Structure 1
Amino acid sequence: MIDFSKLIIIVTLLGGLGIFLIGLIIMTKGLQSLAGDTLRNAMLHFTKSPYSGALSGAIMTTLLQSSSATTVAAVGFVGAGIISFSQSLGIIFGANIGSTFTGWIVAIFGFKFDLGTIVLPFIFLGAILKLFAKENLASIGFAIAGFGLIFVGIDTMQEAVKGFENILTPNILPSDSFSGRLILISIGILITMITQASSAGIAMTLTLLYGGAVNFEQAAALVIGMDVGTTITAAMATIGGNINAKRTGFSHVIYNCLSAIFAFMFITPFITILEYIKPGFILENSQISLVAFHSSFNIISVLLILPFTNIFALFIKNIIKDKSNNDINNFNEEFLKEPKIALNVTLQTIIKEYIIILKHIETLLNEKSDYKRMDMKEVQDILNITHEFIDKIHIKQKDSPDWAYLVDLIHSIDHLQRLHERCEEEEERIICAKNILELESILKQFYTNILNSILAQKTNDWNNIIKNSKKLTIDIEKMNQKYREDIANKIATGELDVPDGSDRLEAIRWLHRVSIHIYRINYYIHKAILSSGK
């Protein structure tokens, strides 16, 4: 016979866990929508080393309540070439500290105060704001509703745990031994892999600890497993991703496994130290003690690894080597969840490929060039993938700054692809132009414009570069009108044959078209850079 009373208890516990998860997801989305871009920009500007990265990663994760959002941002910044891999590791390490904040909220407010009923009006208020308000107010409403649901979930789990008395007790679970702790860690890993969120597992563990279903040592082992489990889930998500995502996922797993080993050995010393400072504290405040243990081993682990971040980064790079094109690897489908990151990665790729094409043109004009010619087929592959990635970026609001940013990138890639076509399919035009005496003066201006555009990222003299690029297009157009007449007259008098005259006309047309593309690319890249906040 099925014991329906026990089944109802289990279903109630799982339902409470589900409500908690939904609340956490809703709250995180609201907070990200409200302050995500601001926090990402602040994190970017503040991250100058692994140490500052750890601090900014911890703060961002605490405020957004999402370590995955912090990790995706870090991977995006590395892919865009804005920060180094070792700096991104600092952010990821810090995210581990920030993720412990949820446990503190649950432990302080979820058990000491009966908030399950009190928060219901706030859930209603949040829903009303989300339905009828706009922009920031709607996001605030989403965050409030999610925050309320978290406590409804905790309250539901508490009610379920009351029914576990004499059914689930510490004696039933693995004992507090070496092998017992390993089994509990494995259970913690499994729980997190199922729930896809360590915060939910920790909330459930706190509830079981509160109800006496587990003791402190067992709960500590479960929490260690949940910390490892969240990285395994993240690592699985990087399968098929770019090189930066794979390195990040793998480094996260390695680091958290090392942290788990330390935490495993830290359980007994932590209990001893806490009991020495205040005897009976763990027994009287088991939930606070558990989140204190969780935060302590994460903070200590970060402090231990930070001095060796560069060595750790080199170790990861040697294990996961980049064997394919870096720019193709920049694009990760995960970035599409954060449009600003996707836009920044796209901008950096466009700039890099633009400079490659400009350097290719420079080598055609200057036989003694310091640059080397690039494989235009390889560039075309990258541009195609970039175009496909841009097509997947969706900005909901036309009045959003990111909307203008996206439009600027679309214009940039369009002109860049046409510039590439001129270089790949019409390369002989520039070779012809070099041998035409009448084009010598305008060709020098064209060459100078190429050099200035290559150095634009370093000089940051965009206004003058754009002004001179535009002037060059006008000068070539004016010259083209007179040049066409001269060529026609020379063909008529027999000084030039028709094929030779046509080649000369095609040469100046090529210069004119290419100069237009360069001007427009400079213009739109500059606009995009301003939109990116750099």
Structure 2
Amino acid sequence: MTANFFFLFGGVGMFLMGMEAMTRALKELAGSNLRAVLARFTTTPLRGVASGAAVTALVQSSSATTVMTVGFVGAGLISLPQAMGILFGANIGTTANGWLVSILGMKLQLGSLAMAALLPASLSTLLGRGAFARAGQVAAGLCLLLSGLELMQTAMEAATGLLRPEMLPQHGVLGMLGLMLIGLVMTVIVQSSGAMVALALVLLQGGAIGLEQAAAMVLGMNIGTTFTALLASVGGSRPMRQAAVANLAFNVITTALAFPLLMLLAPGLLRLGATIGPLNTLLCFHTGFNLAGAALFLPVTTRFAELIERLVPEREADRLRLGLDRALLSDARAALVAAQGGAAVIAGRLFSALAAAMRPEPDYRKLAALAPVMPDALDRLERYLAAIRLPADLRAEEEAYSALLHEADHLRRLLERAEQHGNIQTLFEDRSLRRPAALMGALLGRVAEAGSDRDPARFAWLEEIVDHRAARHRRGLLLGEHAGLYSLAEVFAHTDAMRWLQRSLHHAARISHYDQVARRGVLQQPPPAG
């Protein structure tokens, strides 16, 4: 009997592995289209619901949709009410996974066929290229998912009697709450509500749990799935935290409303189960309360967003600490030192965020965290610089002051470039531009870590390489388009990405240059006599 539990645990692991492989491949196949759908088709909360449901059903992961949405809010691409529509839809879309598992794995019983299809799917993943390889990865992931599901079912059939409904909490408020807690904890641990719903379906089919118990566990799973978005928002900006809290609040309130209905309508649920089957009934319950929750919240989305904004106020940590003490304005040199330090803080944060995004495995969280804090920091720096009054005899300080003004301008321009995330992805999809983009990211990372050691010569060297490669690659793109190798849209996208790389590198170089001029003019000058 111990072996059956090993099969059960192994089946859950195989299911999770298959879901992860399938989700990752589907996201890669969709590429920037997922971002385009979520960023463009969310002009109203209702359209956000449709977009969130469609994307989640496509990639088979509500966590992927919610984390992406939290990042979009932090980047300023969508507002909190728009994001909430997507989050409502993600809860609806995630129920598609349960229907997929029920139809393919339990009704059609394709587990044996999936095992036979796993070899050709794996070979296409290993030997194929591009979209063909990703399609093979999707197929391989689906095969693993269905095989894992069959393994779980086999283990439960062999272990019948070891786990029975009476062994778990029974009817009553406390018992149902206990089952909800079990579902919540299991989902937080496994980080996949889809896998946990599949496990609940297997347990329900095997008679290990009753329909009411499965429904209570599914309610808990709905709350547990919000943990991923909460985790993604840790250390992020205020809008990111607001989106994650809104997702949690929506699921908690929806579950709190569904729980008493479950207690009241349990006899009707059992009668429905006797008619259409317990599996279909559980899935209808799961889809139904998510649809009802979205319908309930849609009319009050704006007010709900305002409530979340009050519950998650701005923290002092959300503002960059620039050290711009206005008491220093009476001493021009001291004020310039403070301004130079503030500009260095802004540059360090911006360089670090771009470095994290410009990697083969990009991390956009730091870039997303810039949106709410960086414009405010630049505004404060510029106001502080405008308030400095230089005496006529401070020639070196005049040069430093001018350099700081130029540095602030280039910081703002680089920030505008940093908001154009799509160009970064295009750079890493282009074999000719991938290496210089990675070099720029590595250089920005080293400069951000070095702090005061910002040698403009490094950027000048890289600028020459990028300019040479960009000119050659631009000609290649035009010839390729003429020969039919590239579409006009691809030529425009890659040309824009090249221009983005060149301009971003130029701004980074000028920031480093003016930082060096300011340090030379202020920090290395002796203090005035007397």
Same-fold status (TM-score > 0.5): yes
Matched, 1:209 2:204: yes
Query: Per-residue displacement from partner, 1:249-285 (whole Å, max 9, x unpaired)?
Result: 222111111111112122245545556xxx5544651
Compute the displacement of 1:84 (Å). Answer: 0.9
Answer yes or no: is the 8 Å Cα contact 1:108–1:288 preserved in 2. Answer: no
User: 5+ unaligned residues in a row in structure 2: which ranges?
Assistant: 321-345, 388-403, 435-489, 519-530
Compute the displacement of 1:289 (Å). Answer: 0.7
Matches within 5 A, 1:66-77: 66-77=61-72
Q: 2:219 aligns with which of 214, 219, 224?
A: 224
Task: From the CA coordinates, give the structure whose radius of gyration is larger.
Answer: 1
Query: Per-residue displacement from partner, 1:481-513 (whole Å, max 9, x unpaired)?
Result: xxxxxxxxxxxxxxxxxxxxxxxxxxxxxxxxx
Query: Per-residue displacement from partner, 1:198-244 (whole Å, max 9, x unpaired)?
Result: 11111111000000000000000111111111113431343223323
The aligned residue for residue 136 of structure 2 is 141
Matched, 1:245 2:240: yes
Query: Relative to 1, partners in 2 of residues 1:236 and 1:385: Cα closer, same or farther, differing over 3 Å?
Result: farther
Answer yes or no: is the 8 Å Cα contact 1:119–1:152 preserved in 2. Answer: yes
Partner amino acid, structure 1, of 2:310? N
Matched, 1:163 2:196: no
Compute the displacement of 1:164 (Å). Answer: 2.5
The aligned residue for residue 417 of structure 1 is 508
2:167 is paired with a residue whose SS is coil
Answer yes or no: is the 8 Å Cα contact 2:238–2:372 preserved in 1. Answer: no
Partners of 2:82 and 2:416 lie apart in 1 by 27
Partners of 2:130 and 2:67 lie apart in 1 by 23
Answer yes or no: is the 8 Å Cα contact 1:383–1:417 preserved in 2. Answer: yes
Partner amino acid, structure 2, of 1:288? N
Partners of 2:228 and 2:378 lie apart in 1 by 38
Query: Per-residue displacement from partner, 1:406-435 (whole Å, max 9, x unpaired)?
Result: 6544433332234546777879xxxxxxxx
Compute the displacement of 1:114 (Å). Answer: 2.2
The aligned residue for residue 398 of structure 1 is 431
Answer yes or no: is the 8 Å Cα contact 2:121–2:137 preserved in 1. Answer: yes
Partners of 2:374 and 2:15 lie apart in 1 by 44
Query: Per-residue displacement from partner, 1:329-364 (whole Å, max 9, x unpaired)?
Result: 99697998985977996998999699979999x989
Query: Relative to 1, partners in 2 of residues 1:179 and 1:269: Cα closer, same or farther, differing over 3 Å?
Result: closer
The aligned residue for residue 302 of structure 1 is 294
TM-score normalised to the size of structure 1?
A: 0.66
Matched, 1:45 2:52: no
User: 5+ unaligned residues in a row in structure 1: which ranges?
Assistant: 365-372, 428-534
Partner amino acid, structure 2, of 1:14? F
Matched, 1:89 2:84: yes
The aligned residue for residue 501 of structure 1 is none
Answer yes or no: is the 8 Å Cα contact 1:350–1:413 preserved in 2. Answer: no
Partners of 2:184 and 2:358 lie apart in 1 by 26
The aligned residue for residue 51 of structure 2 is 56
Partners of 1:66 and 1:304 lie apart in 2 by 23
Partners of 1:236 and 1:354 lie apart in 2 by 26
Query: Per-residue displacement from partner, 1:115-146 (whole Å, max 9, x unpaired)?
Result: 11111232222211111111111111000111
Number of matched residues? 408
Structure 1 window deviating more from structure 2 (414-423 vs 191-200): it is 414-423
Query: Relative to 1, partners in 2 of residues 1:339 and 1:407: Cα closer, same or farther, differing over 3 Å?
Result: farther
Matches within 5 A, 1:443-462: none
RMSD, aligned α-carbons: 4.2
Partner amino acid, structure 2, of 1:160? A
Instruction: Give me the identity figure in percent.
Output: 31
Answer yes or no: is the 8 Å Cα contact 1:247–1:316 preserved in 2. Answer: yes
Answer yes or no: is the 8 Å Cα contact 1:164–1:213 preserved in 2. Answer: no
Answer yes or no: is the 8 Å Cα contact 2:67–2:232 preserved in 1. Answer: no
Matches within 5 A, 1:310-459: 310-323=302-315, 324-325=318-319, 395=428, 397-398=430-431, 407-420=498-511
Matched, 1:31 2:26: yes
Query: Per-residue displacement from partner, 1:37-59 (whole Å, max 9, x unpaired)?
Result: 22321232211011111110111
Partners of 1:410 and 1:49 lie apart in 2 by 34
Partners of 1:146 and 1:218 lie apart in 2 by 30
2:207 is paired with a residue whose SS is coil
Query: Relative to 1, partners in 2 of residues 1:49 and 1:423: Cα closer, same or farther, differing over 3 Å?
Result: farther
Answer yes or no: is the 8 Å Cα contact 1:201–1:226 preserved in 2. Answer: yes
Q: 2:231 aligns with which of 202, 218, 236?
A: 236
Partners of 2:506 and 2:99 lie apart in 1 by 52
